[in-house]
Every structure is written in structure tokens, then in C-alpha cells.
Amino acid sequence: MEKSSNKITFKKSLKDSSLAAAALLVLRMIHKLLFNYAEMRNYFHQLFSTDNLILAISVSISTVIFIWIIISFIFGIVYYAYRKIKEKVSER
């Protein structure tokens, strides 16, 4: 009998892919801060020098969250399909 933790569900694959997508976004941000510091400094300077700071920050945060959700959903579908195919092949 299989354990329930080994059985793949779409919810579990979506959770795993959202963690992977968040890690990917954080690593990209750290990479940009380390190697493209001037570009990031220019972005933050433009962000904080706008007339409507709250709107600019909320749009930036919303964009990052939207990208995170889309990447998580795409990775989740691919991961779920991969695990289901792998599970079907291993049964034979």
C-alpha cells in the first residue's frame, strides 16, 4: 500500500512549485542586486521618486505576486503531469 505522502495530488504539486518559484524569484533578485547593482539602484530611485509612492509600490508588489502565481501554476501543471506519467510508467 502506498503512503499518502507519496501519492501525487495537484494541490501538493502546486504547493511544491510555488515554493520553487518563490525561491527562483528570490535568487534572481539577489543575483541582480549583486551583479547589476546600478540597474537595481536606478529602479529603486525611480520607484521612490514618483509622485504617488503608494500606488507605485502597490503596482510593483502586485506585479511580483502575479508573476509568482503564474510561474507557480505553470510549474505545478508540468510537475503534476510529469509525476502522473512517471507513476503510470512505473506501474507497468
Residue by residue, what is the 3-state secondary structure of 21-46? HHHHHHHHHHHHHHHCHHHHHHHHHH
pLDDT of residue 92: 75
CB 80 within 8 A of CB 8: yes
- Evaluate whether 73 touches 14 at the Cβ level (below 8 Å): yes
Residue showing cell 509600490: 57
Residue by residue, pLDDT tens for the chain (92 residues) are 445 557 888 899 999 999 999 999 999 999 999 999 999 899 989 988 999 999 999 999 999 999 999 999 999 999 999 999 988 888 87
Is the pTM here over 0.85, yes or no?
no
